[in-house]
Structures are given as structure tokens and as C-alpha cells.
Amino acid sequence: MNSAELARQFNLANVLRFEDTAGGLIRGVISSPMAEAEIYLQGAHMARWEPKGHRSALFVSSKSLFAPGKAIRGGVPVVFPWFGARPNGMPGPAHGFARTTEWTLERTALKAGGEVEITLGLQPNESTRAFGYSDFAVRFRVTIGSNLQMELAVENHGEEPFLFEEALHSYFAVSDVRQVSISGLAGTAYIDKTDGYQLKEQGAEAVRIAKETDQVHLNTKTTCVVHDPMWNRRIIIQKSGSATTVIWNPWIDKAKGMSDMAPEEWLDMICVETANAANNAVRLAPGESHKLKASVKVEQI
């Protein structure tokens, strides 16, 4: 469907409209008494969520390429069916194909409480089959209001077990990443991807960012909180169906080499990713399904 057809079928009066962008993508724009938000059909990508009374909760780079086939730098990329590089040196884009594929808009609804609910689906196509993925279905449902609720559901339609990784690769906006802390990961084991993939243990203290950080925390189902004293707020990330939490910030040198991030923007963001990756990859038997959920709330302190 083109944007005009989508608008006729899925717009919600006064709160949700679908439109073309200058870069050639289709997005949904949400403006409700509860929040301002944007979601792109490419990647089922949440690119803005600003609950009323708060600063924007999501970071998006000023250099991000909003173009067909290009990943958006920021917001909430949907990672599937692998995390990072494809395993065993096999060819494929970083973080899988879901974030650069156009999803199908399936449903929109205005809930009784005033939240806007949007459901998008991803089915096998010529591109996914080229990577050997032909027997799956993915559905992303997002509920946009004072909280941001996201659900990623995966089904195995094949006759063999299906092993995959997944993540809601959330970029959160912060005042200065050097001043924030992330609680909820005390005592967890993590893979340090900046130090030869060594397995390390997080101490009792909160995670702080003082250098390039890429930590894959394993076997953790707990709530994480981003504490931001300069903005007098905290961002609370609750999750279910997720056994991995990833903390990422490129820091100075890596950011300089990223064409879709301005040199100083590493200061403005922290990724706290709700995931199933590495040792926590999901294996589905034929006919089985799995749901990963994240609920995000912003509180002033």
C-alpha cells in the first residue's frame, strides 16, 4: 500500500496519520494528549516518543539517514534474526534484516485509556529467503501513551527448530552520558565486546559510562533504570521474555568514524537494549512462538 491507501485505512482521527517523508519512507505520526511519537514502516522503527510533560525519551542522531534500505541511527531499531554480526561468518547485514525491511501495517486502534496501538508484521520475502529464512512470522505491537509498551512476537512456521537472536535496540536520550548511571544489573555476567569478548562480572555498583561500552549482560530479567540527575529524571525499562540486556555507547573515537552520528552526539545517548542474544538466543520448536516485551516509563525526580 502507498501512504494514501494506508491513511484511508489506518489513520485515527486527530491522533494518528500516515505520510510520506522526503527521504522516501512512510511514517506514522502520533499526536495525542498523552504523547508525541513517530514510527516508520521500514523496520517497524519507533523514532520518537515524547510523553507529555517530559523531554523526548528517545535519541535520534541528527545525521541519521531516513532512506530506503538504510538503518535509522536512534529510536528503537528492531533487531532480528541475529544480533551484531551474523554467526559463523555468514553473510548478512549487522543486526539482521528486520530493521531495513518494510513491514506490513496490520492494525491501528485508539484504546479506551487514550493510548494509540499500532501492529506491524514481517513475513518471509525474497530478501529473507536469500539468507535462508523462509518459515517465520514476526509481529511488532507498540502501545504509545504516557508509557511506551513494545511487544515483539516470533513464530516458527517451519518443520525444524528455529534458533534466532532479537532485540529492541533502544537509544535513550540523556543530558550527558558521563553523568548518568544504569541500575538493575548488579552481579550479572556480561560479555565485554570491547575487550576481546571476555566474560566479566558486574559489581554491586551501577553501570557508568567512562569509555566505549558494549556489554552483553546475560541471564538477567530484571528492570533497569537510567538515572539522569542533570535532567532530574529517570527512565525505567521493565521487560519480560528477555534474558539479555545490552548497554552500548560508542564514545569518542568510534563516534567520529560513524557517518550517521555527529561527532559529539555520543554524549547525548545510552542504549539499554531488551534482548535475547549470544548464550540467550531463542530456540523455537515447530509451531512454537515467543514474545519479548519492554515497557518504558519516564519519571521526574
By annotation, the residues acting in catalysis are: 169, 273
Compute the distance between CA of residue 269 and CA of residue 262 in angstroms, rounded to an integer. 12
